[in-house]
Amino acid sequence: MDLQQICQQIQNTARTAGDFIRQERLKITSEDIELKGKASLVTYVDKTAEKMIVDDLRKILPEAGFITEEGTAGADGEKYKWVIDPLDGTTNFIHGIFPHSVSIGLVEDDQPIVGVVYEVGQNELFCAWKDGGAWMNGQPISVSKTAVHEDTLLATGFPYYNFEMLNNYLRLLEFFMMETRGMRRMGSAAVDLVYVACGRFDGFFEHALHAWDVAAGIIILQEAGGKVCDFKGGDNFLFGKEIVACNSNYFPAFFKKVNEFLG
Same domain, 110 and 153: no
Residue span of the structural domain in which 249 resides? 149-262
Summarize the confidence of residues 32-58 as an average pLDDT.
Answer: 92
Given CA atoms 236, 246, 168, 36 in this order, what sign does their dihedral have?
negative
Same domain, 128 and 9: yes
The proportion of the chain whose per-residue pLDDT surpasses 90, expressed as a percent, equals: 92
Residue 37's pLDDT is 73
Residue 18's pLDDT is 98
Of 86, 112, 140, which marks where a domain is finished? 140
**Band of the pLDDT at 76, cuts 50, 70, 90?**
confident
Edge to edge, what strands does the sheet with 134-136 contain?
A: 65-68, 80-88, 101-108, 111-119, 124-129, 134-136, 139-140
**Band of the pLDDT at 59, cuts 50, 70, 90?**
very high
Residue 21's pLDDT is 98
The per-residue pLDDT for range 3-20, each reduced to its tens digit, is 999 999 999 999 999 999
Whether pLDDT at 63 is above 90 = yes
Identify the burial level of 77 via C-beta atoms within 10 angstroms of its C-beta, where 0-12 means exposed, 13-18 middle and 19 or more buried.
exposed
> What's the rounded Cα separation, in Å, for the pair 206 and 169?
9
Cβ contact 259:205 at 8 Å: no
Summarize the confidence of residues 123-152 as an average pLDDT.
Answer: 98
Lowest mean pLDDT among 123-137, 157-171, 249-263: 157-171
Of 99, 122, 140, which marks where a domain is finished? 140
Lowest mean pLDDT among 69-83, 157-171, 194-208: 157-171
Closest CA to 147 of 230, 244, 252, 255: 252
Residue 245's pLDDT is 98
**Band of the pLDDT at 136, cuts 50, 70, 90?**
very high
pTM score, two decimals?
0.97
Q: Which CATH number characterizes residue 249's domain?
A: 3.40.190.80
How many domains, the chain?
A: 2
Rg (CA), the chain: 17
The proportion of the chain whose per-residue pLDDT surpasses 70, expressed as a percent, equals: 100
Q: How high does pLDDT run on average in the chain?
A: 96
End-to-end CA distance of the chain: 38
Same domain, 7 and 136: yes
Of 118, 140, 162, which marks where a domain is finished? 140
Summarize the confidence of residues 191-214 as an average pLDDT.
Answer: 97
Whether pLDDT at 160 is above 80 = no
> What's the rounded Cα separation, in Å, for the pair 29 and 85?
22
Between 30 and 230, name the one with better pLDDT: 230
Give the CA angle between residues 85, 184, 227 to the nearest 5°: 65
Same domain, 78 and 102: yes
Residue 40's pLDDT is 84
Q: Which CATH number characterizes residue 8's domain?
A: 3.30.540.10
**Band of the pLDDT at 162, cuts 50, 70, 90?**
confident
Summarize the confidence of residues 29-46 as an average pLDDT.
Answer: 88
